[in-house]
């Protein structure tokens, strides 16, 4: 200890007094903006306001006493094809590759902290393979994590080196062909005789990531379990079978000291929330620590039936793909409204993290991406393009992840009186943030927070504002809410 106890106590007292003075006299706001015409992209705001005393009704109210879900992360999927495109850039231009990783994965850029990775081949692989292709090997003695291309793991390791807070979520597009009716990875279903042994394959995949020192935090049983397509790796697994597999995988993970790895269920469209997701979790309420949705069918509002019944099981948005050639601003608004700001979601993800030029699925004969699936970024061996998925997502990640990247915040209450605005707020430590999607022309708004007000003119586009505040009321509210329901208001 360098200082005496007296000095430490004095410093603490001084810090409290200074904090209190700052609180009552208002805080400076900083922020970033991206405009509908793309003239500003994640650009620092020059005319940021300060909070000062204010009275009367404000246009936007941030309510730190209403605390909602713990956020987890935003990102996309690292398919074999995405890793290959990135690996080719690394070989051709290592400096550009390093700059790309920093821009995408650090908090000065996109602050992406969550990647979903296929176990074995997906439609964005160049051939069909699993991590154990030896027929009948139900004890998985021939399981080999390195059946996947080495550039997949080296790319993940490079990203982890740039963002040490990275989270990896793994899941299969299909079990090994020999475990399925029809003996193919392309479509079909799991043989009923393989239900007992299949969870061991998924356990080995988690262990394989751990052995490679990659930060695996979650595993799912099956990507899109209601999709059987004969042109690419896919497999149907019904709700009750998924529940059985989940119970058994959960015990295997626990028995192998992997209690910290979450099991996330479902991984398919919004429209089967009531017919699949709810009965699946009813069958195995203790196995699932989250359920994941894709955007390709139904409306995001349909998922509220799930949060109403299981308010303590987090909901993830894990897949959605843009189409090459679509309108930038239309897409930004749609993603913000349906994915990033969904009132119940803890994660927001697009499909592939990096696509080649045309966004076509490289799996031979695959019909999975008719007009192409645009990645969050488009990468060739000489260029990187940050797409609308990247910019819109970054406005939210930079709001709920602390500036040093180590802490992920919680959603708090926010509402706007102007219906052209979609507002979301978060707290992380003592930093508060507000994300405003303004769809309706330049708009001057008063913002209220803890009894003070600030005024800011929001451009048409996305704006994220940050400031520090006192979170004592937030702490009180968390205790209170634990005994009641989780969510009452949202936009």
Ligand X SMILES: *[C@@H]1O[C@H](CO)[C@@H](O)[C@H](O)[C@H]1NC(C)=O
Based on the shown chain and the rule CB under 6 A, indicate whether residue 430 belongs to the binding site for ligand X: yes
In the complex, least distance from residue 151 CB atom to ligand X, rounded to whole angstroms: 12
In the complex, least distance from residue 410 CB atom to ligand X, rounded to whole angstroms: 6
| Phi, psi values for residue 425, rounded to 5° | -130, 155
Please report, in angstroms and rounded to a whole number, the separation of the first and last CA atoms in the chain: 49
Q: What residues are paired with 447 via a beta bridge?
A: 60, 454
In the complex, least distance from residue 476 CB atom to ligand X, rounded to whole angstroms: 10
In the complex, least distance from residue 13 CB atom to ligand X, rounded to whole angstroms: 17
Which of 70/330 has CB closer to ligand X? 70
- Is there a contact between 467 and 426 (Cβ–Cβ < 8 Å)? no
Identify the CA nearest to 326 among candidates 335, 316, 313: 335
In the complex, least distance from residue 145 CB atom to ligand X, rounded to whole angstroms: 8
Which of 326/473 has CB closer to ligand X? 473
Which of 15/305 has CB closer to ligand X? 15
d(CA 387, CA 372): 14
- C-alpha angle 446-470-34 in degrees, rounded to nearest 5: 45
| Site stretch for ligand X (CB under 6 A), options 168-176, 288-296, 374-382, 424-432 | 424-432
- Is there a contact between 157 and 214 (Cβ–Cβ < 8 Å)? yes
- Is there a contact between 266 and 290 (Cβ–Cβ < 8 Å)? no
In the complex, least distance from residue 159 CB atom to ligand X, rounded to whole angstroms: 21
Which of 144/231 has CB closer to ligand X? 144
Task: Please identify which residue in 318, 352, 471, 487 interacts with ligand X, judged by CB under 6 A.
Answer: 471
Window 389-418: residues binding ligand X (CB under 6 A): 410
In the complex, least distance from residue 227 CB atom to ligand X, rounded to whole angstroms: 29
In the complex, least distance from residue 131 CB atom to ligand X, rounded to whole angstroms: 9
Window 132-151: residues binding ligand X (CB under 6 A): 144, 146-147
Which of 385/468 has CB closer to ligand X? 468
H-type alpha helices, 343-471: 388-400
Query: Number of C-alpha atoms within 13 angstroms, CB side, residue 350?
Result: 27
Which of 35/147 has CB closer to ligand X? 147
Which of 203/384 has CB closer to ligand X? 203
Instruction: Kindly determine how many residues on this chain lie close enough to bind ligand X according to the rule CB under 6 A.
Output: 10
- Is there a contact between 157 and 150 (Cβ–Cβ < 8 Å)? no
Window 191-250: residues binding ligand X (CB under 6 A): none
Task: Please identify which residue in 365, 429, 440, 441 interacts with ligand X, judged by CB under 6 A.
Answer: 429
Identify the CA nearest to 218 among candidates 316, 284, 123: 316
Q: What residues are paired with 435 via a beta bridge?
A: 424, 464
In the complex, least distance from residue 218 CB atom to ligand X, rounded to whole angstroms: 22
| Site stretch for ligand X (CB under 6 A), options 111-119, 362-370, 425-433, 441-449 | 425-433
Based on the shown chain and the rule CB under 6 A, indicate whether residue 154 belongs to the binding site for ligand X: no
d(CA 215, CA 349): 18
Task: Please identify which residue in 427, 435, 447, 462 interacts with ligand X, judged by CB under 6 A.
Answer: 427
How many CB atoms are located within 10 Å of the residue 349 CB?
28
| Site stretch for ligand X (CB under 6 A), options 115-123, 277-285, 333-341, 469-477 | 469-477
- Is there a contact between 297 and 269 (Cβ–Cβ < 8 Å)? yes
Which of 236/474 has CB closer to ligand X? 474
Which DSSP string corresponds to 263-331? Answer: EEEEEEEGGGIIIIIHHHHHH-TTT-SEEEEESSSS-GGGGHHHHHH-TTS-EEEEE--B-TT--HHHH
Based on the shown chain and the rule CB under 6 A, indicate whether residue 474 belongs to the binding site for ligand X: yes
Which of 146/442 has CB closer to ligand X? 146
CA 69 and chain centroid, separation: 13
- Strand spans (E) along 29-158: 30-35, 43-44, 52-53, 60-70, 73-77, 114-119
In the complex, least distance from residue 482 CB atom to ligand X, rounded to whole angstroms: 13
| Site stretch for ligand X (CB under 6 A), options 48-56, 321-329, 385-393, 427-435 | 427-435
Identify the CA nearest to 136 among candidates 47, 72, 53, 197: 197
Identify the CA nearest to 376 among candidates 104, 126, 90, 160: 104
| Site stretch for ligand X (CB under 6 A), options 36-44, 446-454, 455-463, 470-478 | 470-478
Which of 43/150 has CB closer to ligand X? 150
d(CA 308, CA 305): 5
Helix (H, G, I), strand (E, B) or coil at 196: coil
Which of 146/488 has CB closer to ligand X? 146
In the complex, least distance from residue 286 CB atom to ligand X, rounded to whole angstroms: 26
Which of 78/427 has CB closer to ligand X? 427
Site residues (vs ligand X, CB under 6 A): 144, 146-147, 410, 427, 429-430, 471, 474-475
């Amino acid at each position: 200890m360098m200082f005496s106890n007296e000095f430490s106590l004095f410093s603490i007292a001084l810090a409290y007094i200074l904090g209190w003075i700052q609180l009552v006299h208002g805080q400076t706001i900083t922020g970033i903006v991206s405009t509908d015409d793309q003239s500003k992209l994640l650009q620092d705001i020059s005319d940021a306001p300060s909070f000062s005393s204010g009275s009367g009704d404000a246009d936007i109210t941030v309510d730190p006493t209403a605390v909602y879900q713990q956020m987890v992360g935003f990102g996309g999927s690292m398919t074999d094809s995405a890793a290959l495109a990135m690996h080719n850039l690394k070989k051709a231009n290592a400096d550009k590759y390093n700059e790309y990783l920093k821009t995408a994965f650090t908090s000065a850029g996109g602050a992406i902290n969550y990647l979903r990775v296929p176990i074995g081949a997906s439609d964005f692989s160049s051939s069909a393979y699993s991590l154990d292709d030896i027929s009948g090997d139900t004890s998985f003695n021939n399981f080999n994590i390195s059946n996947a291309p080495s550039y997949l793991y080296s790319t993940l390791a490079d990203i982890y080196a740039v963002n040490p807070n990275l989270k990896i979520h793994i899941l299969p597009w299909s079990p090994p062909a020999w475990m399925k009716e029809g003996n193919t990875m392309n479509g079909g279903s799991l043989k009923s005789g393989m239900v007992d042994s299949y969870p061991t394959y998924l356990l080995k995949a988690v262990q394989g990531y751990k052995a490679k020192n990659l930060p695996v935090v979650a595993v799912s049983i099956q990507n899109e379990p209601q999709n059987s397509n004969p042109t690419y790796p896919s497999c149907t697994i019904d709700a009750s079978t998924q529940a059985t597999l989940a119970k058994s995988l959960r015990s295997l993970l626990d028995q192998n000291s992997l209690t910290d790895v979450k099991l996330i269920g479902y991984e398919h469209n919004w429209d089967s929330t009531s017919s699949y997701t709810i009965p699946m979790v009813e069958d195995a309420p203790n196995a699932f620590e989250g359920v994941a949705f894709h955007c390709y069918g139904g409306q995001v509002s349909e998922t509220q039936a799930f949060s109403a019944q299981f308010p303590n099981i987090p909901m993830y948005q894990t897949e959605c793909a843009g189409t090459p050639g679509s309108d930038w601003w239309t897409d930004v608004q749609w993603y913000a409204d349906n994915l990033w700001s969904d009132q119940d979601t803890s994660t927001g993800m697009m499909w592939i993290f990096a696509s080649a030029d045309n966004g076509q699925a490289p799996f031979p004969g695959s019909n999975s991406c008719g007009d192409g699936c645009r990645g969050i970024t488009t990468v060739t061996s000489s260029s990187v393009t940050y797409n609308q998925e990247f910019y819109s997502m970054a406005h939210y990640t930079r709001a709920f992840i602390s500036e040093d990247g180590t802490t992920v915040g919680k959603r708090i209450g926010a509402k706007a009186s102007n219906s052209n605005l979609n507002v979301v707020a978060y707290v992380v430590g003592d930093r508060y943030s507000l994300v405003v999607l303004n769809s309706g022309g330049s708009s001057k708004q008063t913002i209220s927070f803890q009894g003070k007000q600030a005024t800011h003119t929001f451009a048409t586009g996305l704006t994220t504002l940050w400031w520090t505040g006192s979170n004592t009321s937030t702490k009180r509210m968390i205790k209170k809410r634990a005994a009641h329901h989780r969510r009452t208001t949202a936009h």
